[in-house]
Amino acid sequence: MKKSSIVLSLTAIVVAFALLFSSCKKINEATELGGDLIPLVDNITTFDTLLTVQAFNDTFGLANDSQYLSKNEEFFLGKINSDPFFGQTDARIFLELKPPFYKYSFANSKPDSLYIDSVVLVLNYVETYGDTNAVQTIDVYKLDQSTNFRSDTSYLIRKNDFIKSTLLGSRSLAPKTLNDSVKAYRDTTLNQLRVRLDNSFGAQLLSYDSISNTINGAYADDSAFRSKFKGFAIESRNTGNAIMGFDLTGVNTKLAIYYRYDKNLKRDTTVSYFQFSPTFCAAANYVKRDYTGTPLESNLGGTLPDPIVYIQNSPGTFANIKIPAIASLNNRVIHRAELIVEQLYDISDSTFTAPDLLYLDAFDPTITSSYKYRTIPYDLAFTQTGGLNLGSFGSSPVNSVDGSGNKIRIWKFNISRYLQHILTGTQTLYDLRLLAPFSLNEKYGIPPGADITPTLFINPTIAKGRIRLVGNTGPLDSNPHRMRLRIIYSKL
């Protein structure tokens, strides 16, 4: 499900960039990890300094969010109603499930010899983000036939203009039960969300079979079936405190139609499945954030740097980063320059965990296209296999503890080459952005100007993952955990 590489069409460019970076001498954290590539800070030939970092919280609104989701990715469903810092999340799934082929027929297509037992919507469960014990009620609706819901269209995760009609069924559950094995006719597998739907809906599906072999039958072809059924809208009511992840392409995603039919003067029982096809079925995942009344909301739009930074996965939040003191630095040899970012612990972090990765990029006001951000020049690069050097760049955290002994994560973004080029006059100083996206499109070029616009995949999913970070109130901030830029250098 998670894409393992960057979408790039120009393999030669990737290899060229990779060779450029592999030829540079690697820099590690000798002062902390015991390596020998960074000289010791002796304040005679090698020095270190800390620069003040300013962080300003912001959110991805409807106007500037361009996150689409492939049907092969993990889809989320559910409600988070009481995250103490990030408020509420409402995740809904819209999907089609279709017969495995056309013309389709049930076991016996005679109109008076098919009898519905039950019809169940089944989704292939993957994981839960949030409180696994809090009960929530899942409602399944039939999409209105007027809804423009197409298999050849990708949808923004903030888009929700699908019209639902009839409520088909509901189920109340605690997410922790979803990895239990089921006991159903011809189905005893694990990891299923099962919602029993109204028998009248199942009977309607059976009744279409009576005309399946005519040119205008509901199961004659895809267009005929869509004229009768556009798909499902699946959502959670105002309960619960978690979102649940599902694999639409998994074997456990299906519509199970249990029915009886007459055969040789006997009535047999069987099941037929309508399934999900990424090629022929439509799907959309809607995720809404609501920060009303939260500490995050009260820390938006200020003119002073924020002491606490709020980062949430797509569709979520980010922080604009400014380091004005860089502009006054004279030229010097940069051994290491790292933006240090530390988690601010709260007990709720055990329920609403951090994103797998954080990401740092740069705002380039000279870009004329809609993609105004670029990768950090010279430090974020493609490897020879086409992936990103996210590990050495600093997107992966290291584990630590705060002053109270709480386990926290610390990120150290390596921007050494970028800073060196600024000081030598070969690179523009940019404002930066700190975020935790699923994916994004932005400019990449070494040097900037020779640009391509790849799609970068950072975190494995949308929706899950949020964290509070220690910000910086200004030059007089004495908090040892404050956000800061550490530079190890030698004078020229």
The 10s digit of each residue's pLDDT in 444-490 is 987 777 789 999 999 999 999 999 999 999 999 999 999 999 999 99
pLDDT on residue 116: 94
Whether residues 195 and 151 fall in one domain: yes
pLDDT on residue 61: 74
Residue-wise pLDDT for 225-237, tens only, equals 999 999 999 999 9
Domain ends where: 262, 290, 318?
A: 290
pLDDT band per the 50, 70, 90 thresholds, residue 216: low
What size, in residues, is the chain?
A: 492
Q: 14 pLDDT exceeds 70? A: no
Q: What residue type is 125 in one-letter code?
A: Y
pLDDT on residue 214: 57
- Alpha-carbon span 98 to 108, nearest angstrom: 19
Whether residues 231 and 92 fall in one domain: yes
pLDDT band per the 50, 70, 90 thresholds, residue 15: very low
- Alpha-carbon span 138 to 446, nearest angstrom: 49
Taking residues 348-365, what's their average pLDDT? Answer: 97
Beta carbons within 10 angstroms of residue 395's beta carbon: 21
Q: Enter the DSSP assignment of 354.
A: P
Number of structural domains the chain divides into: 2
pLDDT on residue 112: 67
Taking residues 128-141, what's their average pLDDT? Answer: 97
pTM of the shown model: 0.89
Whether residues 234 and 371 fall in one domain: no
Residue-wise pLDDT for 28-39, tens only, equals 433 443 334 788
Domain ends where: 270, 290, 310?
A: 290
Residue-wise pLDDT for 64-123, tens only, equals 667 999 999 999 999 999 999 999 999 999 999 999 999 898 886 665 688 999 999 999
Whether residues 304 and 387 fall in one domain: yes
Greater confidence, 389 or 266?
Answer: 389
- Alpha-carbon span 105 to 272, nearest angstrom: 10
In-domain check, residue 81:
no
pLDDT on residue 6: 41
Residues facing residue 127 across a β-bridge: 245
Whether residues 236 and 304 fall in one domain: no
Sequence-ordered list of residues with C-beta below 8 angstroms from that of 184, at least 6 positions apart, any chain: 120, 194, 256
Q: Range of 170's domain?
A: 87-290
Q: 26 pLDDT exceeds 70? A: no
Q: Could you tell me which of 77, 83, 66 has the C-alpha nearest to residue 292?
A: 83
In-domain check, residue 1:
no
